[in-house]
Structure formats: structure tokens, C-alpha cells
Amino acid sequence: MAGPAWGPPRLDGFILTERLGSGTYATVYKAYAKKDTREVVAIKCVAKKSLNKASVENLLTEIEILKGIRHPHIVQLKDFQWDSDNIYLIMEFCAGGDLSRFIHTRRILPEKVARVFMQQLGKSL
């Protein structure tokens, strides 16, 4: 169920807390499962009104690909839901953020660090 425009949306089974980031089509929130485990997840909220036909196809492709992938170097899609306003991708939470943010924050990576990332990227293929 969508929440008010000024705050994070409401999603059954989860408590959305802080906004982690946003892009052209989506906003990502840190969230906690309401279950006993209180698992921390990242929820990508995609506003349906921002999507054109090609964007919908890209999102559906992303969901289909991520549903079938289990790899230690690829963020896991745990579930997805939708309501009248949004599509929600419930994903594994990465405490350090994404690789792009890591690189932009540091600007220059030591060769040793870059090598580790390249190895992980290669293994994920």
C-alpha cells in the first residue's frame, strides 16, 4: 500500500526507515521485516507513473534475471510486490552501499582494491 507523498511508502510486512538513494525511476529505502527475524533489507520502490513501456520491460527483465540468480557477489532479490502506485523489489541489504557509490566516494582506488573488485565481477559472470 502506498504511503503519503512526503514519506516512505508503506509495504505489508516491512518497516521502511531511511532513504538510501534514488535514481530516475526508483527510490531505495532501508527496511526491516516485521517478522521475528527483523531481517534488514533494501526496498527499491519504482513509481509506476514514471515508467514508459520500455522501462516496464526493463524492470520485468531485471526481476526475471534476479529471481534466478544466487551468487555471493550479486545482490539477491528476495521478493517483489506491487500496489496501485509502485512496484517494490525487496533485496538483500548491502551495508557498504553499492560499488558505484564506493568508487565515487574514493575517486581513486588502490590497485589492490580494484583487483579484488575485478575478481568479484569476473566470478559473478
Residues 22 and 46 occupy one common structural domain: yes
Ligand-binding annotation for 49, yes or no, is yes
Mean pLDDT for the stretch of residues 105-119 = 86
Residue 30 has a pLDDT of 95
Q: Which of 5-9, 110-114, 121-125 has the highest mean pLDDT?
A: 110-114
Q: Domain span at residue 106?
A: 96-125
CATH code of residue 30: 3.30.200.20
What SS3 class is residue 77? strand
- If one compares 120 and 4, the residue with the highest pLDDT of the two is 120
Spatial distance between the Cα atoms of 90 and 40, rounded to a whole number of angstroms: 10
**4: buried, middle or exposed (CB in 10 Å: 19+, 13-18, 0-12)?**
exposed
Q: What is the pTM of this model?
A: 0.77
What tens digit of pLDDT does each residue of 86-107 get? 999 999 998 877 777 788 888 8
What tens digit of pLDDT does each residue of 2-19 get? 544 567 788 888 999 999
Q: Give how many domains the chain has, as a whole number.
A: 2
